[in-house]
Amino acid sequence: MDVQAIKRTFGIIGTDPELDRAIGIAAQVAATDLTVLITGESGTGKDVFPKIIHQNSTRKHGQYFAVNCGAIPEGTIDSELFGHEKGSFTGAVNERKGYFEIADKGTLFLDEVGELPLSTQARLLRVLENGEFIRVGGSKLMKTDVRIVAATNVDLPLAIERGRFREDLYYRLNTIPIHIPALRERKADIPLLFRKFAADFAERNHIPAITLTPEAVKMLESYRWDGNVRQLKNVTEQISIMETDRNITAETLAKYLPNRVQSALPVLLPHDESMDSVSERDLLYRVLFDMKKDIAELRAQVNNMTNGRPMEQNHVQANPVTQIGDTVVTRVNQSEPEATEPEFTEFIPAEEAHYGVVSTSSTTGMPETLSLEHHEKEMIIKALEAHRGKRKDAAKALGISERTLYRKINEYGINL
């Protein structure tokens, strides 16, 4: 079956070359039993491609099951996939066949495979290697002949680096990769999809179909569409039911396109790291910044004393940081015009520069041994006193979570 025939059969709209290429790979690999990994953003239509593969394979008369791995709780995912024996856990009143057993001789689509727990990944790897599995709570080795098609919107190589996905499983799944382009990468298809969704909705609800002015078409094509085809369909149906004027202008369309403001600030840590670790790191950098300022002022005072000048308060002002590649250059100058210490340049990681941390090299031999714990404890006490013991307000002022603040209070034995 050629690409155009597949499009007609499965209702795929679009003329984008990358989309046609993905369909062509699916049709070509369907006749084999190779494992396929489909990647792409959420809402791009990844769920259609396992059906294309199944319907064009020798297994088309067998069972086809689609399993959303991200929607099944971690405690029951093994039972869903591999089955369980009676009494294997609380509530297992009967034995149960899993999808691998039911879909024997057929195709099993594992959607959101990147969400699988590591323990389940190990079981899945064994099935892919030799077709063997054991039910939960069982001891009998069972065999299955299932074609696996997996899909994910997770960056699996990055998940491997973070220890959240098995590298050996990734290579087993990624025998044949198919990437589905995002909607913003196939701009010419956006008006076609809009017309299709508008016509289908009008037919189902017995109303006139909406159309777009040329300006509205341009706005439609220039929008980012983070939700991809799914978002476009939702917007089309919203406009179809809400607007009485069936010719949609750019001004009308703009009301249905959310303006997402993206921050240009540096990213502290990957989005999926725990917020407690972010907050604690934030606090530590704040403390370090204060310590370095104190050390710089003390060094300046020692310089004044050795040069026979009276002690006075000096201040260190950090110039704005400049990023060069992955390195941030921060230049620090002493404000004292007659200071003998030369201007110097210090290279620090970009994420540390975001917090204003400035490392100084001592030229006076003065040890930088101020206690980090002491300063951290002092900051917490001051914040609590300033907010009359209200820990929620103190945590907010410190830029940390309440959970982190409670732990620090207990750790330092702070009583107010």
Same domain, 46 and 116: yes
Average pLDDT, the chain: 81
CATH of the domain at 401: 1.10.10.60
Q: How many CA atoms lie within 13 A of 107 on its CB side?
A: 26
The whole-number pLDDT of residue 310 equals: 54
Q: What is the pLDDT of residue 284?
A: 64
Domain boundary among 254, 285, 310: 254
- pTM for the full predicted model: 0.62
Are 176 and 27 members of one domain?
yes
Task: Report pLDDT digits (tens) over 347-382.
Answer: 344 443 343 333 444 444 444 444 667 778 888 888
- Cα–Cα distance between 181 and 178 in angstroms, integer? 10
Inform me whether the pLDDT recorded for 167 exceeds 90: yes
pLDDT category of residue 277 using cuts at 50, 70 and 90 = very low
Is the per-residue pLDDT at 202 higher than 90?
yes
Residues of the chain by 3-state class (helix, strand, coil), percent to 5: 45, 15, 40
Task: Judge if 239 and 132 occupy the same domain.
Answer: no
Last residue of a domain, one of 165, 181, 197: 181
- Is there a domain that residue 35 lies in? yes
Examine the domain organization and report whether 359 and 377 are in the same domain. no
Count how many domains the chain has: 4
Residues 18 and 60 in one domain: yes
pLDDT tens across 208-249, in order? 999 999 999 999 999 999 999 999 999 999 999 999 999 999
Range of the domain at 282: 270-364
7 and 155 housed in the same domain: yes
Task: Give the residue, 407 or 307, on which the prediction is more confident.
Answer: 407
Residues 108 and 217 in one domain: no
171 and 314 assigned to the same domain = no
Q: Which amino acid is at 204?
A: R
Q: What is the distance between the alpha carbons of residues 256 and 261, in angstroms, rounded to a whole number?
A: 15
SS3 of 2-41: CHHHHHHHHCCCCCCHHHHHHHHHHHHHCCCCCCEEEECC
Query: Does 317 have pLDDT greater than 50?
Result: no
Are residue 56 and residue 190 in the same domain, yes or no?
A: no
State the Cα–Cα distance between residues 27 and 9, nearest whole angstrom. Answer: 13
Position with higher pLDDT, 250 vs 74: 250
Q: Is residue 102 part of a domain?
A: yes
The predicted-structure confidence for 98-113, as pLDDT tens digits, reads as follows: 999 999 999 999 999 9
**Boundary of a domain, candidates 181, 205, 228:** 181
Nearest to 23, CA basis, from 50, 60, 62, 59? 50
Report yes or no on 264 lying in a domain.
Answer: no
